[in-house]
Amino acid sequence: MSHKPHPVRGRINSWFLAAAEKPMHREYGERKLRIFGELPATIVELGPGSGANFRYYPQGTRVIAVEPNPMMLKRMYAQASRHGVEIDLRHAGAEGMEVESESADLVVSTLVLCSVRDPDQVLSEVRRVLRPGGRFAFLEHVAADPGTRLRKVQEAIHAPWHWLGEGCHLNRDTARTIERAGFADLELERFDGSGNTPYRPHISGYAIR
């Protein structure tokens, strides 16, 4: 997420995210609403991409969009217009997001921590920008258990997947990263997700600063 996007892969990923929006809404929509909780007037979202989460935000919401990939912006702004949210764009990556310390009540990350360069630093930044008592809502795909057939598949295709997905890791233990990030409270659920895809299992939940 923090690296410079490839001009071809960036467009492919922008198209893919837009095409996947409806099935992802069916797969994750209710779960997202649960983990987001009470929605504040301003939301910090890491890697909003094509704006798939905007449908869940009330009209008039200000979204501080930490999105360094310029290939995503056209679709993101179109979705913002469609759902009546206001974009406050920050071009920096999540490892050094340009957001004031202790200014956010909610930070959202859905299917983003798989592709950042330094997830520990990203979570440190999340804790920095959250107010005391603020919520970090996450939904991510994670590595399958070691020794399973799925984990072997993930390891086998990791290199081409990582390249095509602009840094996406199929074998990242994001749950452990969140657990050790120093939040005051953590609610984390593991679930498999539907379909026979390599980007599963998943975790979802929220952490409180």
Q: pTM score, two decimals?
A: 0.90
Domain contains 1: no
For residue 181, the model assigns a pLDDT of 98
Residue 2 lies in a domain: no
pLDDT of residue 141: 96
Q: Is 16 part of a structural domain of the chain?
A: yes
Domain count, the chain: 1
Residue 108 covered by a domain: yes
Q: What is the CA radius of gyration of the chain?
A: 16
- Mean pLDDT, 10 residues at a time, over the chain (209 residues)? 56 68 90 97 96 97 95 94 98 91 98 95 98 98 96 96 89 97 98 86 98
Segment 142-161, tens digit of pLDDT: 999 999 999 999 999 999 99
3-state secondary structure of 131: strand
Distance CA 151, CA 143 (A): 7
Residue 157 maps to a domain: yes
Q: Is residue 43 part of a domain?
A: yes
Q: How far apart are CA 70 and CA 4, in angstroms?
A: 9
Q: What's the angle, vertex CA 140, arms to CA 136 and CA 141, rounded to 5?
A: 165
Contact yes or no for 68/166 (Cβ under 8 A): no
Q: Give pLDDT tens digits for 71-80.
A: 889 999 999 9
Alpha-carbon span 134 to 127, nearest angstrom: 9
* Cα-based distances in Å from 199 to 142, 170, 183: 7, 6, 26
Domain with 52, as residue range(s), is: 7-208
Element (H, E) at 123: helix 119-129
Domain CATH for 17: 3.40.50.150
Question: Tens of pLDDT along 163-176?
Answer: 888 889 999 999 99
Q: Count other Cβ atoms within 10 Å, centred on residue 4.
A: 11
